[in-house]
Structure 1
Amino acid sequence: MRELKIFISISTLIVTALIVAFFLVVFSNASEDVQREKDNTLVQIAAHLRHAEASQQMTETLLKHYNLEDIDINGFQANSDTSTHWLISIFPRTNRKFVISENSNYVVGHLNTARILDGPISIFTSFLAVVLISWLLLILVYIRILRSTHDSLESLIQSGLVPKHPVLGNIGELLTQQQQEVKQTQQSLEEEKLNIYQNSLLHPLTRLRNKLSFNDYINERLNDGDIKNHSAVVFIRGTQLAKINETLGGEHGDRYLVDLKQIIDSSSSRVSKRLIFHFNGAEFVCFGEFKTEQQLSLFLSELCSAIQHYSSKQNYDSTAVVAATHLDNKGNYVDLMRRLYLGIASAQLTNLDGWVIQEDDQVNVDDDQQWGQILKQVIDAGNITLESQAIQTTATMSQRYSEIYCRFKDAQDNYLPTQTTFVMAQRLGFAENLEKTVIRKILKTIPKTQHSDRHFGINISEDALLSKSFLIWLERELNLDLGLCKKLVFEIPEHVLLAHQNACLRFCIVLRRLGCRVAISHFGEGFDSFKLLEEIKPNYVKLHRKIIENIATDVASKHICRLVIDVAHQLNVLAIAEGVEDREQRQLLERYHIDGIQGYLVGKPQSMIA
């Protein structure tokens, strides 16, 4: 057995160490006894020869036999101190011991050192015998214990009380197995860590490298100076994602992103050293090397041609805009992104699904002037199209509800990108006037609709909420028709409420005084969401689509949804679910006693009658 071998090996080492230690101690003491005996013998010989009569012939005989193995001294007599000193001086070199015979005048024979060592040897032999016998007895006892344990274990195994193969098994084998498992676990953890890091650099939907990967790649290229001539970065921004998510739902928005990725991938297949990144949201970046400026322009034309074909097929006003800029060793990441964003702004002004090559990072004054003219024309002419999406009510919500969306047109009756229009209006100082134009258009359109008996949700921008002059103007406009105010529901995003609670609370007080209602949209994003319900006291709360889209599969989303609905009902607030896309979500929400359902499943946005 392995345990017995280990025990015998360890015990043998211990016994050997004890024997060696004892041997060293005993014979070190014995050597001291021999030296003392030599000294005593020399003293005795010297004392005897000092009074003895010795001949010169005997002295010569001793000198003659100085190096012989046996020296027989007969009749040596010392009559002077010289003989004594001589004998004492040669004695250590001869390695001999002499004794005095019965006749004190002669030195005869040898002194046997064995007489001195007889005592230590006998003690060491006795100790060795005791140690060996004890060691053998200990091994026999241990073997007996092992056999007894083995027999008991066999009887337990035969009786069925103990499994035949122990859980722990052999201790050494268990330790080896555990070491192997630890190594495998460490290896799997390293692989998992690497996979997590690699996945963190990929967009979960398109599986393209994300913004973090793009930043690392560009910074590395700029720092290393490894940039060839005509290297370019092409920035593609999708223009339909927000609208698709709001009207058709997140599933259609994901499909739109995948289609856009495939368009970029197929169009750039012939680009040298091509790399495609999913930068953010509906933004993509394509890096490549182009031998000539004409090659870059040809690629951009082919890309935008494919985008326009997709827009026509899907009946979109616009799918994406494209901007490109050159990359050189003297630039940096900030300048690169500034040029790309300026190029995107310029491309949105040229034509839908167009492209621009941005050569520098200077603001194009002509573009700003053109946007200013477009915005002024939209505000003056009121080129705004209104659409409404109905919210399906349940038994707990008797009043019908529709949310209003707006779209802008230029002088040629072409649709403008809604998000870009708001951004450029804010940049050029037209935000408040554009907001007023939209509100004025809504107030004039609602009484003319076929469903004027329902409530209408109006989205308010962050700039309008924070503007005191806009609040004064809105209060004056609403006072002109207080009956219409009872049909209006002003929707404020949750993140705006969390960032500007005092300004939003003041805005809500004015609206309630006029008879309007308030709704918190995109509810459930922050940690202080429930605190807003108590402070703002809205009439409606609209659950964020991110909670709704996972409600069928995610337990946490189910609990959050039920909690929001229960808390809202306790505060007499009606709960509406945003972005409902399938029947399973609808059935779960109805089971949780939701008050209203909004999404592509129950209704698409439709034009309001002007």
Structure 2
Amino acid sequence: MNDYKKSLWISNLIVLLFAVLVTFAVKLIFNPLLSQQQELIAKELNLQNSPLITNIEQLNELIEHQVFDFIKVSNSDLPAPLVHEDPQLSRFFSSLSPVASTTVISSSGSQLIEFTVHNSQLFTLLTQILFVTYTALIISASLINIVYYRLYKSIETSLVHEISDEQSPGSPFVKVSEQLHQQKKLFHKALQNQEKQIVDLARQVNMDNLTGLNNRHAFRKELTEILSEEEEQKHAILSIIRASELNTINSQRGFQQGDDYIVNIADIITQVTDRFSAVSVFRISGSDFALIAREMNVSEAQRIAKELKSKFDQYQNVNELESIAYNGISSIISGQLPEQVLARTDMALAKAQTEGINSWAFEQHDHDENQFGQQHWRNIIDSIIEKRALMLLHQPIQAIHRNMKGYQEIFTRFLGENNSMIPTETVFAMAQRVDMSVKLEQLILETVVSQCRHKSDGSTRWGINITGSAIQNSNFIVWLERLLLREPNIAGSLIFEMQEEVLDCNLVASKRVFDMLKRTGTRSAICNFGKGIGSFRLFKELKPDFVKIDASLISNIERDSANQQFVRMIIDVAHRMDCRVIAEGIEHLEQKQILENMYIDGVQGFLIARPSPL
């Protein structure tokens, strides 16, 4: 119950109590008059000298005067007092402060009469007085209720105007107005804070945490909005930019360097597109960025692509990388499906990756991905195999202790038209898609064996990476065993490196490969060791000759004591298993010194040497 209703109930209760008090007061005033009236009646009827009343008939003679409300006669001749009470007596008024009965004793003292009388005139006057009083009180209560109602309505209207209208002159209640204005300020401040929190949360949902750009969810939403506009066909540009060196940087330099690389590319893209209106930049996957430019024509999109290539080339020269990013561009036309636009842009990106370092390409026409896209890559990979269009790089692994002999890890780079570099990760991925990964692996190994035959002096060792698809292909393993058996001198100088994650996923096939390498006198190594929970199980099952600790464990080892303890444990377990431990991604002297104190066997990284042509 609110205060308004409480006030009404209290005021009505006060009026009711006042009515009761007035009733009692009036009755108390009238009681002496009624007592006096009774004494006058006794004198008029000469009750003091009346004869003895011995029966009811004599009492009735007295009652016939019709003045008595109540009469009681007692004398010595009556066995019990005679009593008469008027049945029409008003019980309400008689119960409110009743009038005392008058007692008359006969002159002889033998008879006692007690009685009360009614006086219609006095009672009529009493009733009229109470009626007027009650009427006045009811009218007063009604007026009070009306005044309360109008007052509260007036206050309510004034407060509503003051709340909803900043220009309102304010209510006549100064303190209320001041408090209200203060509460309004607090409310507006709280509302602004909540709106800000909502905006921040919405931004976080649609934002990539690393770069601060919009994420894949926001990209998909905006692309769908453009394609669903039906009023008229809208034209826009979609560009997908792939950071081609992310995996290489992560594996060779550590994940922190990979994050810096992604952030720098995001800054370059933002810097180039800032001067164009209605251009949105997104990070849609680990290595992929997207641009959506509304109302942009093809020539403007090509100008952006050329400027991005120039910036990427500059960044590549400064950071001594093999490539930075590739750019695929296509048009967005309303009414199409998102899959059509994305497939067309992906095809443009595939073309860009085969046309030169940091290149871009524009694709306008739709193609069946299975008929055109795969055939495009099949032709490229066929050309690589036919022309043996690949280049080998090597990076030394430096031995720290005498009980380990260092070796050279070999990296493969693929060449396209005009000797342009094609991203290695893309070639391997597409080769697997078109079922040509085994042929590509065979080409690489044949080239490595040929190079080793001419360059090896009998003391040099070479490390070669084998992909997961090759490890799980029985035909390739048979072919590799025969190759190694034909070249026993070269086989003894080869070390095959395989990813821990791949080995752990298919332990049966991995064990078969490791057993084959032992039979042919070839050594084995597990790369990126220490990333998975099954790392130490591989020691027992595969018994490798080397393990290469993942670069993510090395990148901040000088500051991370937990990483130091974990690496020390790996080294201790490996040495107990007669296995040599190599640390990848060494870039700082402090890292090398810490690892030397842990009795690491070998180190590899840019601090030692960068990859160079074989």
Taking structure 2 as the reference length, the TM-score comes to 0.67
Q: Quote the Cα distance in structure 1 between the aligned partners of 2:495 and 2:232.
A: 55
Question: Corresponding residue for 1:171?
Answer: none
Matching of residues 586-597 of structure 1 within 5 Å: 586-597=592-603
Matching of residues 164-563 of structure 1 within 5 Å: 202-215=207-220, 218=223, 229-246=234-251, 253-308=258-313, 310-311=315-316, 318-327=323-332, 330-352=335-357, 353-360=359-366, 362-363=368-369, 368-395=374-401, 397-410=403-416, 412-449=418-455, 452-563=458-569
The AA in structure 1 aligned to 2:89 is I
Q: Tell me: CA distance 1:521–1:196, structure 2 relative to 1, closer, same or farther (3 Å).
A: farther
The AA in structure 2 aligned to 1:547 is L
Conserved in 2, the CA contact under 8 Å of 1:494 and 1:522?
yes
Once the two structures are superposed, residues 169-198 of structure 1 have per-residue CA deviations (whole angstroms, 9 ceiling, x without a partner) of: xxxxxxxxxxxxxxxxxxx99999997885
Q: Tell me: CA distance 1:534–1:190, structure 2 relative to 1, closer, same or farther (3 Å).
A: farther
Question: Corresponding residue for 1:94?
Answer: 94
Q: Quote the Cα distance in structure 2 between the aligned partners of 1:592 and 1:189.
A: 53
Once the two structures are superposed, residues 575-594 of structure 1 have per-residue CA deviations (whole angstroms, 9 ceiling, x without a partner) of: 11111111222222222221
The AA in structure 1 aligned to 2:390 is I
Q: Quote the Cα distance in structure 1 between the aligned partners of 2:371 and 2:56.
A: 137
Structure 1 residue 528, shift from structure 2 partner: 1.4
Once the two structures are superposed, residues 243-267 of structure 1 have per-residue CA deviations (whole angstroms, 9 ceiling, x without a partner) of: 4445566565445434422331222
Q: Quote the Cα distance in structure 1 between the aligned partners of 2:483 and 2:219.
A: 49
Conserved in 2, the CA contact under 8 Å of 1:247 and 1:605?
no
Q: Quote the Cα distance in structure 1 between the aligned partners of 2:232 and 2:404.
A: 65
SS at match of 1:281: coil
Matched, 1:569 2:569: no
Q: Quote the Cα distance in structure 2 between the aligned partners of 1:592 and 1:200.
A: 44
Once the two structures are superposed, residues 129-167 of structure 1 have per-residue CA deviations (whole angstroms, 9 ceiling, x without a partner) of: xxxxxxxxxxxxxxxxxxxxxxxxxxxxxxxxxxxxxxx
The AA in structure 1 aligned to 2:580 is L
SS at match of 2:419: coil
Q: Quote the Cα distance in structure 2 between the aligned partners of 1:494 and 1:456.
A: 19
Conserved in 2, the CA contact under 8 Å of 1:275 and 1:287?
yes
Q: Quote the Cα distance in structure 2 between the aligned partners of 1:331 and 1:380.
A: 39
SS at match of 1:272: coil
Matching of residues 58-137 of structure 1 within 5 Å: 59-60=64-65, 62=67, 86-90=85-89, 92=91, 94-95=94-95, 96=98, 98=101, 105-108=111-114
SS at match of 1:572: coil
Question: Between Structure 1 and Structure 2, how many residues are aligned?
Answer: 475
Question: Corresponding residue for 1:177?
Answer: none
Conserved in 2, the CA contact under 8 Å of 1:455 and 1:488?
yes
The AA in structure 1 aligned to 2:94 is T
Q: Tell me: CA distance 1:94–1:374, structure 2 relative to 1, closer, same or farther (3 Å).
A: closer
Q: Quote the Cα distance in structure 1 between the aligned partners of 2:197 and 2:567.
A: 33
Q: Tell me: CA distance 1:560–1:99, structure 2 relative to 1, closer, same or farther (3 Å).
A: farther
The AA in structure 1 aligned to 2:272 is S
SS at match of 1:479: helix
Q: Quote the Cα distance in structure 2 between the aligned partners of 1:327 and 1:390.
A: 48
Q: Quote the Cα distance in structure 2 between the aligned partners of 1:565 and 1:200.
A: 42
The AA in structure 2 aligned to 1:517 is R
Q: Tell me: CA distance 1:351–1:387, structure 2 relative to 1, closer, same or farther (3 Å).
A: closer
Q: Tell me: CA distance 1:539–1:101, structure 2 relative to 1, closer, same or farther (3 Å).
A: farther
Structure 1 residue 300, shift from structure 2 partner: 3.3
Pick which of 456-465 and 213-222 moved more: 213-222
Structure 1 residue 519, shift from structure 2 partner: 0.9
Conserved in 2, the CA contact under 8 Å of 1:58 and 1:75?
no
Q: Quote the Cα distance in structure 2 between the aligned partners of 1:49 and 1:418.
A: 142
Q: Quote the Cα distance in structure 2 between the aligned partners of 1:292 and 1:54.
A: 127
Percent identity, please: 27
The AA in structure 2 aligned to 1:576 is I
Structure 1 residue 51, shift from structure 2 partner: 4.7
Conserved in 2, the CA contact under 8 Å of 1:322 and 1:355?
yes
SS at match of 1:349: coil
SS at match of 1:324: strand
Structure 1 residue 473, shift from structure 2 partner: 0.8
Q: Which runs of 5+ in 1 are unaligned?
A: 1-47, 111-187
The AA in structure 1 aligned to 2:425 is Q
Structure 1 residue 368, shift from structure 2 partner: 4.7
Q: Quote the Cα distance in structure 1 between the aligned partners of 2:424 and 2:232.
A: 37
Conserved in 1, the CA contact under 8 Å of 2:238 and 2:292?
yes
Q: Quote the Cα distance in structure 1 between the aligned partners of 2:200 and 2:269.
A: 26
Structure 1 residue 221, shift from structure 2 partner: 6.7
The AA in structure 2 aligned to 1:566 is D
Conserved in 1, the CA contact under 8 Å of 2:252 and 2:551?
no
The AA in structure 2 aligned to 1:320 is A
Say what the alpha-carbon RMSD is for the aligned residues.
3.9
Once the two structures are superposed, residues 466-500 of structure 1 have per-residue CA deviations (whole angstroms, 9 ceiling, x without a partner) of: 11111111111111122222221111101111211
Conserved in 2, the CA contact under 8 Å of 1:249 and 1:599?
no
Q: Quote the Cα distance in structure 1 between the aligned partners of 2:582 and 2:462.
A: 14
Conserved in 2, the CA contact under 8 Å of 1:52 and 1:105?
no
Conserved in 2, the CA contact under 8 Å of 1:494 and 1:523?
yes
Pick which of 552-561 and 590-599 moved more: 552-561
SS at match of 2:429: helix
Question: Corresponding residue for 2:163?
Answer: none
Q: Quote the Cα distance in structure 2 between the aligned partners of 1:55 and 1:317.
A: 138
Structure 1 residue 218, shift from structure 2 partner: 4.6
Q: Quote the Cα distance in structure 2 between the aligned partners of 1:579 and 1:402.
A: 15
Pick which of 223-232 and 403-412 moved more: 223-232
Structure 1 residue 235, shift from structure 2 partner: 0.7
Conserved in 2, the CA contact under 8 Å of 1:62 and 1:73?
no
Q: Tell me: CA distance 1:252–1:397, structure 2 relative to 1, closer, same or farther (3 Å).
A: farther
Pick which of 450-459 and 531-540 moved more: 450-459
Q: Tell me: CA distance 1:49–1:240, structure 2 relative to 1, closer, same or farther (3 Å).
A: farther
Structure 1 residue 570, shift from structure 2 partner: 1.9
Conserved in 2, the CA contact under 8 Å of 1:276 and 1:285?
yes
Structure 1 residue 454, shift from structure 2 partner: 3.3
Structure 1 residue 302, shift from structure 2 partner: 3.7
Q: Quote the Cα distance in structure 2 between the aligned partners of 1:591 and 1:383.
A: 43
Q: Tell me: CA distance 1:392–1:58, structure 2 relative to 1, closer, same or farther (3 Å).
A: same
